[in-house]
Amino acid sequence: MKLNKTTRNRIGFYLFISPWIIGFLLFSILPMITSLYYSFTKITVLGLGRRAPEIIGFKNYIRIFTEDTIFLQSIKVTFVYALSRVILGIIIALLIAMLLNKKMMGKRIFRTLIYLPAIIPIVASAFLWRQLFSHDFSLLNYLLSFIGMPSINWLSYDNALTSIIIMSIWTGIGPTMIILIAALQNVPKELIEAAEIDGASIFAKFKMITIPMISSTLLYLFVTGFIGALQAYAEMDLLTSGGPGYVTTTMTMNVIQNAFSSDGSGMGYASAQAWIVFIIILIFTIIFFKLINKHVYYAGGEDK
Amino acid sequence: MITDLQLSKQRRKRKEMIYKSMRFFTALGIALITIIPFLWMVISSLQPNSSSLFYSPPRFPNPIRFQNYIDAIKEIKMFSLIWNTLILVFANMFLSIGASIFVAYGFARFRIKERNILFFILLSTMMLPWVVTLVPSYIIFNKIGWIGTRWPLILPAIGGNAFFIFLLRQYIMGIPVSLDEAATIDGCNRLGILFKIILPQCKPIIATLIVFSFTGTWSDYVGPRIYLASSPQLQTLSIGLQYFQSTNSVMPWHLLMAACVIFAIPMVVVMFSAQNALARGIVTSGIKE
């Protein structure tokens, strides 16, 4: 029997993408179905394989919204962290990108140096910042005293989240800056020059030309940064373990803590929490993509 | 008149000079601010003891103690940690880039009705929060007895990496189809086209993927923390660095910082030697199709 061309083509296509299909089924779909099942059960990490999970219906979900103040608080912490980290990060990176987009001696070296924090492994930079944040006599507090400011207890109840945001901005500035420089280089020079001839101020040029021309990049950076930051875990786990008093416990961290705790919460409850995290992130993703489709014009044709 | 014009020209030139140097020094200042913590890490790693990191005002190490590096390597058996990390790095690199090449070629070169919807699903998996699959994956790996082995950290790479596939597909779509067609006329099948025509052209983007894959696995923290907690002999650098804390009553900050420098060096080397490859990946990821 001879297969027609379309069928042969289709078989070829699926053969080529088969690694992804297998990976997708085994490491995305199967875990998600498993997770949905476990979210209706009660099982702890110690009970895994020893006893069958006990099905308890919607109890886990009800508990999330009625009893678990720590989780609700962690949602708030996560949003404060994500918003401030992403917005401040983009503003700072944009200022630096505009500066480094000008002709300048040593531009490449500056760019490399500012990028450097981004490639230091997160564990190494967390230990470094723990040192900087730690002591009354840390370098950071010394530099503050230099400009006449009092010592700060960086990882205290009031300051811990801000401190982690500072560290995250430090590590994240490089890639954001590189993307923004690339975007700025695509802003047509003629537009800027025309505005200069018309006597536009720096601020006017920025507001009327630069921002609209890079709006798609800004939105892209915000969306991916925000969705990434909503899943923050390592920074907090390494610097504060979520403390003091849960002020730096994020959603993801709370899920993991519950999953591997031996008390009543356990894996079933954590699965239910993970689904809530998923739904929260999904809602924001959908909203953002609606926004992108509505407000941003991409130069270039359709995807072929 | 003439002198007036010359004067204003001169003035403008001087103004431009001032702006230029102002910009330069601002950039220098910003670069210094971002680099100081890193320099401090290196300085700390050479201090004679832990408490000399916290003198006020800060002091340069006196005497400079290179021995810290040897002590750090010995104390947490760093060579074995590096070895364990490298196994994961190369296994992941090989599997995820290899698989991504096939998948990306499929998505770039076959015209099938359902291709776009499948590609959309692939892109959406990038948005899937990792914590959703973490707990059930742990349960599944526990069932097959793989907790405390390297498998949970290697095997998921067989499906490729959605981000890599995206980058590769974009790149392959930029290669003229006429090359494929010419090869087909010469009697090449699809695999032949992929290996003889497409792959040689993909070298730059594959360099980018190697950098991304290397840095990603080398620095990974969550994976080893979850899956290797019960097997210290398989532990990676990310986790091993915490042994300083657990084995000492007072944190030996100078040794820890030395270990951090060793941990960071390969990344710094990669960044300097593959700057273009790195920038290409970051920039492409910032430009949606």
Say what the pLDDT of residue B289 is: 37
Are B10 and B145 found together in one domain? no
In CATH, A69-261+270-295 is 3.40.250.10: no
Mark yes or no for CB contact B23/A179 under 8 Å.
no
- Percent of chain A having pLDDT more than 70? 93
Mark yes or no for CB contact A128/B159 under 8 Å.
no
| Lowest mean per-residue pLDDT among A85-89, A190-194, B275-279 | B275-279
pLDDT tens-digit readout, B141-178:
988 889 889 999 999 999 999 999 999 998 898 888 88
Are B157 and B233 found together in one domain? yes
Residue B136's domain is classified under what CATH number? 1.10.3720.10
Give the Cβ contact number of residue A152 at 10 Å.
17
Query: In chain B, which residue's Cα lies nearest the Cα of A37?
Result: B136
Chain B residues in contact with A17 by the CB 8 A cut-off are: 102-103, 106-107, 118
Tell whether A127 is within 8 A of chain B (Cβ): yes
Is B126 inside any structural domain?
yes
Q: Which of B166, B165, B135, B140 is nearest to B155 (CA)?
A: B140
Residue A1 has pLDDT above 80, yes or no: no
Q: What residue segments make up the domains of chain A, in order of their start?
A: 69-261+270-295
Mark yes or no for CB contact B27/A122 under 8 Å.
no
Is B230 inside any structural domain?
yes
Is B49 inside any structural domain?
no
- Percent of chain B having pLDDT more than 70? 96
pLDDT tens-digit readout, A239-286:
988 878 888 999 999 999 888 877 657 888 899 999 999 999 999 888
Mean pLDDT, residues A164-170? 93
Chain B residues in contact with A238 by the CB 8 A cut-off are: 221
Are B166 and B231 found together in one domain? yes
Backbone angles phi, psi at A139, to 5 degrees: -60, -40
Q: How far apart (Å, rounded) are the C-alpha atoms in residues A95 and B194?
A: 43
Are B38 and B100 found together in one domain? no
Are B27 and B81 found together in one domain? no
Chain B residues in contact with A9 by the CB 8 A cut-off are: 110-112
Say what the pLDDT of residue B3 is: 67
pLDDT tens-digit readout, B75-129:
888 899 999 999 999 999 999 999 999 999 999 988 888 889 999 999 888 888 8
Chain B residues in contact with A117 by the CB 8 A cut-off are: 34, 37-38
Mean pLDDT, residues A140-144? 82
Mean pLDDT, residues B216-235? 90
- Which of B40, B44, B139, B163 to mutate against chain A (most A CBs within 10 Å)? B139
- B2–chain A nearest CA distance, Å: 23
Pairing of strands A41-42, A54-55: antiparallel
Say what the pLDDT of residue B113 is: 86
Q: How far apart (Å, rounded) are the C-alpha atoms in residues A216 and B71?
A: 50
Question: What is the span of the domain harbouring residue B11?
Answer: 2-44
Are B179 and B216 found together in one domain? yes
Is B59 inside any structural domain?
no
Mark yes or no for CB contact A17/B263 under 8 Å.
no
Picking from B31, B131, B261, the nearest residue to A252 by CB comes out as B131
Say what the pLDDT of residue A236 is: 92
Picking from A19, A285, A304, the nearest residue to B159 by CB comes out as A19
Are B82 and B36 found together in one domain? no
Chain A residues in contact with B27 by the CB 8 A cut-off are: 96, 99-100, 104, 106-107, 110
Chain A residues in contact with B156 by the CB 8 A cut-off are: 23, 26-27
Tell whether A7 is within 8 A of chain B (Cβ): no
Are B127 and B219 found together in one domain? yes
Q: How far apart (Å, rounded) are the C-alpha atoms in residues A280 and A165?
A: 21
Is B58 inside any structural domain?
no
Say what the pLDDT of residue B288 is: 43
Report A:44-63 residues touching B (Cβ under 8 A): 48-49
Is B123 inside any structural domain?
yes
Are B214 and B270 found together in one domain? yes
What letter represents residue A89's amino acid?
Answer: G
Is B84 inside any structural domain?
yes
Mean pLDDT, residues A149-161? 84
Mark yes or no for CB contact B222/A227 under 8 Å.
no
- Are A267 and B139 within 8 A, CB to CB? yes
pLDDT band at B23 (very low <50, low <70, confident <90, very high): confident
Mean pLDDT, residues A209-228? 86
Tell whether A289 is within 8 A of chain B (Cβ): no
Is B194 inside any structural domain?
yes
Residues ≥6 apart with Cβ < 8 Å to B106: A12, A13, A14, A15, A16, A17
Mark yes or no for CB contact B34/A173 under 8 Å.
yes
Say what the pLDDT of residue A153 is: 82
Query: In chain B, which residue's Cα lies nearest the Cα of A285?
Result: B127
Mean pLDDT, residues B219-235? 90
- B131–chain A nearest CA distance, Å: 6
Query: In chain B, which residue's Cα lies nearest the Cα of A36?
Result: B136
Domains in chain B, number: 2
Chain A residues in contact with B258 by the CB 8 A cut-off are: none
pLDDT tens-digit readout, A107-116:
888 888 898 8
Structure tokens at A298: 């991409």
User: In this predicted complex, what is the ipTM?
Assistant: 0.86
Rg (CA), chain B: 26
Mark yes or no for CB contact A179/B158 under 8 Å.
no
pLDDT tens-digit readout, A32-48:
998 999 888 887 777 77
pLDDT tens-digit readout, A226-236:
988 999 999 99
Query: In chain B, which residue's Cα lies nearest the Cα of A106?
Result: B24
- A161–chain B nearest CA distance, Å: 19
Residue A188 has pLDDT above 90, yes or no: no
Chain A residues in contact with B216 by the CB 8 A cut-off are: none
